[in-house]
Structure 1
Amino acid sequence: MTIDPTTLDEQAVRTRVAELLDRSRARSTALTDAVDDSDLVAQHSPLMSPLVWDLAHIGSQEELWLVRDVGGREPLRPEIDGLYDAFQHSRASRVDLPLLTPPEARSYVAEVRDKALDALDRTPLRGRRLVDNAFAFGMIVQHEQQHDETMLATHQLRVGAPVLHAAPPPPGLDPVRLGPREVLVPGGRFEQGTSVEPWALDNERPAHPVDLPAFVIDTYPVTGGEYVAFVEAGGYDDPQWWSAAGWAHRVEAGLVAPQFWERDASGTWWRRRFGVVEPVPADEPVVHVCFHEAAAYAAWAGKRLPTEAEWEKAARHDPATGRSRRYPWGDDDPTPAHANLGQRHLQPAPVGAYPAGASAHGVHQLMGDVWEWCDSGFHSYPGFEMFPYPEYSEVFFGGDYKILRGGSFGTDPSAVRATFRNWDHPVRRQIFSGFRCARDATPVESAAGGL
């Protein structure tokens, strides 16, 4: 959402926030109404919460921030705060908690929403950092959409007939029209992060200069067809392509291919996608690979994964002006012509499907389709300031986390930007994760300024 604080029309912002809150709730409702109550309370994977926990947690966070803090109202259900505190209970244990039943959860989130909308109507949107430019409301919109994507991932893990449906994505471009497989990003300084995006979260801040040497990055993410070649070449059987930690995980977990892939007797690879079993599309970005698998493929291909700074420069830097854009295509909010976002489609789009979304460097599909693994840990930027609570970012800095960038087909436009930082353990692959490769530029390429 674009907000210019110097020309803030509070009523227009309230109207827009109400629309975004309504859109996020409509999605939450669709994801939970798609299955019966027994499915909502079941745990489809120890990596994921029961869907009914996510629904009530959405309401709990909205109550804490919009009803109690911003609105100044008395707590509605203080006795359930602990049940829906993500730091008190692991995902695997939440199925055993005395959770609200599906009808109770639906009633609770509806009551919370009524009071949150009342707070939106009554609260001045300036004068306090939490409400300046409707920040708290934007934070809650993003929080609900993030959990909607988590619930979508839970749907992918459930077993049974398809219950979610969506139109197929647009067609891609043929390789000739798409152009070179990789492009050079010249060396030099660019501005990473943001200090002006009104709803950017604390780990995206502040903007700061970063100097990078020239590098080469893939024009589009690694596809299913390209990944099949790695599998068929014995990539999962040869430890030379894997880091020590990656190979140990491959052996312990018994990895032989991306999650949800199976090979039939004829040698054809199939994937399961929200209950639909279909041949692995050769021209779509590969999805459901962990960091270790992505890094192994990159090594096999003679490349590496991009760093987080390289990914962001390829996405945001405009060599004509030297400035960093909000999105790869410019400063305008995403539209369906720019990227595969918002669960409009239940799969990545073929490569080249969004030429209008290419970056100034000619890199395609940096936003949407698949979260892209970067070979960077999750750390704060220089000058980081925690806001409004440490459990969003600060407590996760360090550790073994790896960065993911760009969003997926299941990410809502309100919950992703070219500065947005996602992170997860390098073994995770139930998320909608893929990758693209990069490499150091050769001296000749750096001197020539192009490939």
Structure 2
Amino acid sequence: MPARNRSSSAPSSLADLARAPRARLALEGSAGSGKSMAVRWLALACAAAVAGEPEGAATIFADWMPPAPLPVLLEASAFVAAAEPWSLIEAQLSASGLAAFAGSVHQALLNGEALIVIEDVTPRSIAMVTQIVAAFPANRSICTCRPHTSTNSSPAHLLQAHGFQLVHFAPLERAQVDTLVERLLTAMNRRRAVREVSGAAPSAMLRSGTIAEQIADLQGRLLIDDGLRALTFEPLAAAIAVAVDAGGHTLPAARARVYQQVIAALWGNDALPPTVLAPLALAMQRAAHDDGRSGALMRPDVERLIREGVPDADESQIAAVIEHAFETGLLDITTSETLQPAYHMPQMGLRAFLAARALAHAEDFDAIIARYADDPAWRETLTLAVWQRMNALPADDGQGQGADLSIFRHLLDRSEHGKQDRDERSAKKKPSRRAPKPIPVPQHGAGASAIAPAQATLLAAACLEAIEAQRYPDILRDVQQRLLAMVADPAVAVEDRVLAGLMLGRLGDPRFESLLPPLAQIDAGVFVYGTNDAPYSEEGPAQRIDLPAYQIGVYPVTNAEYARFLAARPGHPKPHYWYDPRFNNPSQPVVGVTWHDAVAYAAWLTRALAAEGRLPTGMVVRLPLETEWEKAAVWGPRARVKRRFPWGDQWVAGAANVAETRVGPDGKSRWATTPVGCFPGGISLYGVHDLIGNVWEWTASSTEAAPGRGAATGQRTALSRLYGDPSGAPMQRHHYVLRGSSFNSTTAHARATYRGSHLPPDYWRYNIGFRIVIARPIAGE
């Protein structure tokens, strides 16, 4: 129960603040901030101190002087003007079915042995609140209230004038959000188990994994989307998000449902619906995105825009809507550059949802798509608008036949026109290795005949994910192919290639649907291993080595592929960072794996492919030797000349996911690992991706096996080092070589001959993964 005393910046618990006898607290917080939850938990703890249950609830009173106070919960909205204080309390006891305890409660109030909790205090109820406190002054009193547009007339300010200590209810911290998710999911899981035992219909919460894994999974997924992450720092929104996800709507894709339910819960049963704020939200969205401002508007503009949502409203109704929006936290006030109060919507997710409502119901929706689709800043708003537009239609037949899919056809058709226009322009120019300049965003009043293909594809993918992609298989396949083309197109900006890869992972990446991963064939023959021209001696000497033919993974092993292994081997421990949203997209390379994990995966895939008859005779799946890795990286099937990098002898900026590439114009990192294949400029002559950057890759070569990088036989690692000694003899501890550099490597170490850290087989880190080869067993097998 975090709270912050206005006279101190240090947060305190509500129990600490209420410990003092006769404490009077005015607890101010926006709707959904957890005020009611906190005071009711405090009341429950008081009851538990007397009744002894629920177990552990009374521990917060460990340092209070006994006895614990008797909780008396009152609703300020039920107060009757000019009523006598005790009669008000007695009436609410009767309404709650507690009339039989009125005598005991009255005596406790007279003796100063009660905790008076009055919820939802407003300026209109201040007089009755002060009368109740004055009638029973020896008790502790806590009032909850919301902020007010006018500080001088806010309930908290008025209570402070009557001797109450003003306390602001602080937002949750990330660790507290995680704790809330853990407790809610645990309770839901326990309730589901009880229902199943009793024979009741099962709930929708049937996600795989243990409850601990489900908790870690959801905690991570709540961090992926910026709007959803910011919203869940409020307890009400966090609880709604957990309920939505547990109900079978996977987050963050289903975030529109969370926004819809949070707005409805905050707004309540007001005479006017929250949609009256839609024109205002759209104007604020335009101010924030188009004009580069904060999105704040002056009072006259706010009144005018709300009147658009309620054309027949009078001045008092407009003022009431603004006040209610402020009380619910949908509006807030800041100070503008002119020192005048300016209104804004503090939660960008809720603002985008309300703005999307205005767009979704516009008659010229197709024109709106054309107007905004090229601007990434509008992608989320348009996605939410499509969701609202699709969900406003009658229910379909379960196959998506009743939905208006013309939105997607319109979007993708326009992108085709844009691609044709771009190709025609490119044909008139000389070839250039530089990425094309972005197409300018059309002005509001101008129509647009075409949308940039990359932006149209990303928007279509986001919309498709939001409306449950599997319901529309034809469109899904179309969008998947477009995303694949984006990832492989060097002309597409790297940020968009990365976004396309992430979206592809969430929608389903066709590259990894098969058990057999994409492979590159490496021909047999001699190649030059090592170099005589490098800063580190262990990169040399250069030597000619003859290798038999083998196949190597086109990409490092991805999370999607590793998940298939974990499903077949449920007892195998999950990698570190498995639930970390920075690293766990299905199309990103798996990280946090030890050398033993990589070897176990290769052994499993060997058996799985052999069982399907898809493994060539005499071949196994294993980690590559250093020689095999380096040949795939810098040799060529025709040129027979060694390169310094997979793409050539000179460093090319942006050819790999290394430290310099992932830093944005603001100096901050834009990503960590990227989906595999997002850097087509770094592909090797054999067609292998991500050999430089992204993740360090485990090899089968140990440092002990190649002293001084001598003869070719020195690169052979005994089978006992890979799969264990079948004789049962104790194994020596070896260190294994990493290759390829990673997303946080400098260019000084990002070359094919550089040998990474020599690490023990049980080591793991956030930038270490692996790729496999299908080759002959290592000598000694």
TM score, norm. by length of structure 2: 0.28
Q: Which has the higher contact order (CA 8 A, sep 6+)?
A: 1
**Over alpha carbons, which structure has the higher Rg?**
2
More helix by share: 2
